[in-house]
Amino acid sequence: MLNRRNFMMASLSALNLPAPAQGRRVGHLVVIGGAEDKLQDRVILRRFVELSGGPKARIRILSAASAEPASAWALYRTVFAELGVSDFESIDIADRAAADSAAVSEQILGADGLFISGGDQGRLMELIWETEAFRALHVAFHLRGCCVGGTSAGAAVMSRHMLVQGEATRLPEKEVAELDIGLGLVPFAIVDQHFSERRRLGRLLSVLAQHPDMLGVGVDENTALVIERGKGVEVMGAGAVTLIDGRQMRSNFDVIDSRERLEMLGLRMHLLPAGYRYGLNRASSSNWPLPSSLREALELLVEPGPMRG
């Protein structure tokens, strides 16, 4: 009897899908903090297309996180057409039955680039958690090298421990934010978006106190963190990425009540501005030598984690 993973692999073979646009690739993640430039230079979206295989890539757009998915699809359809992409489609997931359909799985498994729009990350996960679409997405990324990009809610959903909601407190407080299960493509970090613009440092610190084994990743608007599995990261756009490592932290989380102020000692924070690459070897880094603390954090950030299925 086939288990789920073997069933998905058998289905992948049966589909006789074409090879990726540039042959076998290592999957990239393009984690966008929201409000990316869609009208001018479109640096981030151009990079997403490039990492997907260029204008001939098969781009699929998942807009189910949006309250108005048709409008989100129409917007990105125009953007990608103007970037020269000829093969793009909407992945329509109106309910969990659609997320379990063979048609949706085939769209995901055939994609060179999968772009997840903004909206409500909780809505998206309610639709696809433990469905065939969820499993197909993991197969596409881990085995086919599909480039997965996401903006705003589409960035937050990359995490395994996904930030769902929570106010932006001036200082970190216990249990100020709510977490849920995300896609898990960034398995060892919690991603927050609109980071500097909405002053979310206190919020991200709050959830790190609750999960000190995780990294915190805050991505500014019109800024993308590009993650290449096992190799390094690149920051693009207009802002910066704030990377927080609390694995050596001591906090008072276990001895205070909900919404009380947190003490957090021994945190390590790195500010990665747009325009820089941070690789794990000399040839792929524009900032060498890397501090050991940053190298340790990057090693965890680029670790792909398990394929869910």
Catalytic residue among 152, 159, 206, 285: 152
Which tokens hold the place of 206?
């709050």
Closest CA to 132 of 306, 2, 4, 307: 4
Q: In a 3-state reduction of DSSP, which class is residue 248?
A: coil
Catalytic residue among 173, 221, 228, 234: 221
**299 among known catalytic residues:** no
Which tokens hold the place of 207?
């959830």
CA distance 96 to 94: 7
Which residues, other chains included, contact 262 with Cβ-Cβ below 8 Å and sequence gap of 6+? 171, 172, 173, 174, 205, 206, 209, 251, 252, 253, 256
Alpha helices in the chain (DSSP H): 4-14, 43-52, 69-82, 96-99, 102-109, 121-128, 132-142, 153-156, 201-210, 292-301
Catalytic residue among 194, 206, 234, 251: 194
The answer to whether the beta carbons of residues 206 and 183 sit under 8 Å apart is no
Pairing of strands 113-116, 58-62: parallel
**293 among known catalytic residues:** no
CA distance 285 to 146: 23
**221 among known catalytic residues:** yes
CA distance 190 to 186: 8
CA distance 20 to 114: 13
Closest CA to 163 of 147, 148, 183: 183
Q: Which residues are catalytic?
A: 152, 194, 221
